[in-house]
Amino acid sequence: MLDTESTMRAISPAAWGGPEVLREVTLARPAPGPTEILVRVHAAGVNPIDWKTRATGGFGMHGEPPVLGYDVSGVVEAVGPGVTLHRPGDEVFGMPEFPRQAGGYAEYVTGPARHFVPKPAVLGHVEAAALPLAGLTAWQSLVETAGLVSGQRVLIHAAAGGVGHLAVQIAAARGAHVIGTAREEKHALLRGLGAHELVDYTRQDFAEVLGNQDVDVVLDSIGGDYGHRSLRVLRDGGTLLTLPSPDEVPVPDGGVPRGIRTGFTLVEPDSTGMRALASLAADGRLRPVVETVLPLERAADAHRLGETGRTRGKIVLTVADV
C-alpha cells in the first residue's frame, strides 16, 4: 500500500459521460523529470474543455486513470535536473502541457518549468488559477494573431464568460474600443471591466445594431451562426477569430475580395504571454472574475454549473489551503 507521503488526491472520470462519472481517487504523487517542476496545487481553474473532455474523452488525455484539469496555481515543491527558473517555495501559476492534460484536478502536478511563471502578489491562488487558459486564449487571439492596437474596434461575443471577460480587459488595456454581447444583467460588470458598448443578444441582433461594417476584430467563442453574422459587421481587412472548433470557422461570402481574415485559434503554453498577463494583473488592469469557488471533491458540481452557460467569469476548485 502507498503511504500518504507518496500519494495524492485527484479527480478522475470513471468513464466518459455526465458529471456523475467524476470521482475522487488516490494516485501516486508524481516526481519532476529533467527541466520539470513539481507544484503543490492550491487551486485549479475549471474550463469548458474540461467538461467536454469528461463527456467524450476529448484529446490530450494520458495516464491511468486520467486526471482532468489544465489551470493551476500553487507552490513549487521540488525541481528536476536543469531547472533554474524556479525554486522550492516559489508561488507559480500556469497551464502546463496543453493540449496534453496537465492533471490540474489533483494535489500535485508536474510540468515543464517554462510553462509556469511567478504568481503576481496581487492575485490569490484562486484568482491566479482562473487566469492561464482563458487569459492566454484571449491574449494570443487578440494581441498575437489579430494584432489589436489602440483605436481599433473589437467585438467580443460571450463577453461575460471565462475568455470573454478577460478579453474585454486585455482589449481595453490596449486602447481598443470594446463592444460585447451579453445578457443585460451582466452589462454593469462588463462596463466596470472596460467595455464601451454592449448588446443584449437575447433582445437584439448584434449584426443589426452594429451593421455598418466598421469593426476591426471579432472574437467568437460561441460558434454556430455567430461567425457568419459577425462577417456583416467587419470592415474590409478585418479579422474574425473562432474559438469553438475549426468546423465553426465561416467561409466568407465575398470575404476574400474584402480582405477579411477568418480562422480557428487554439491556445498554447507560453511563458511570454503568461508574463504579459501577470504584468497586467500587477498593474491593476486585469482581474479574473471568479463567480464560484468549490472544494476539489465537488468537481462534479462545478461541471454541472459550468454546463449551464450562465456563469460570469470563472469557476475554481480549491485543492490546498488558500
**What is the C-alpha to C-alpha distance for residues 186 and 208, in angstroms, rounded to an integer?**
21
Query: What is each CA distance from 122 to 191, 278, 282, in whole angstroms?
Result: 22, 9, 6
Domains 7-131+288-318 and 134-264 in one fold? no
Mean pLDDT of the chain: 93
**Does the domain at residues 134-264 carry the CATH identifier 3.40.50.720?**
yes
Full-model pTM: 0.94
| Residue ranges covered by each domain of the chain | 7-131+288-318, 134-264
CA angle 58, 59, 62 (to 5 degrees): 110
Closest of 53, 32, 134, 35 to residue 93, by C-alpha: 134
Tell me: the pLDDT tens digits for 180-200?
999 999 999 999 999 999 999
pLDDT for the residue numbered 309: 84
pLDDT > 90: percent of the chain? 83
Q: Class assignment of domain 7-131+288-318?
A: alpha beta
**What is the C-alpha to C-alpha distance for residues 145 and 158, in angstroms, rounded to an integer?**
19
Indicate the DSSP class of residue 296. Answer: G
Q: Give the residue-averaged pLDDT of 24-30.
A: 96
Closest of 320, 321, 294, 310 to residue 46, by C-alpha: 294
- Residue 203 pLDDT exceeds 50: yes
**For residue 277, what is the enclosing H or E element?**
helix 271-282
Q: Could you tell me which residue, 45 or 57, shows the higher pLDDT?
A: 45
- Residue 2 pLDDT exceeds 70: no
Percentage helix, strand, coil, to 5, in the chain? 30, 25, 45
pLDDT > 70: percent of the chain? 94
- Residue 1 pLDDT exceeds 60: no
- pLDDT interval class at 259 (50, 70, 90): confident
93 grid coordinates: 501559476
- Residue 60 pLDDT exceeds 90: no
Beta bridge partners of 109: 39
Tell me: the pLDDT tens digits for 79-125?
999 999 999 999 999 999 998 888 999 999 999 999 999 999 999 99
pLDDT for the residue numbered 320: 87
Q: Give the residue-averaged pLDDT of 282-303.
A: 97
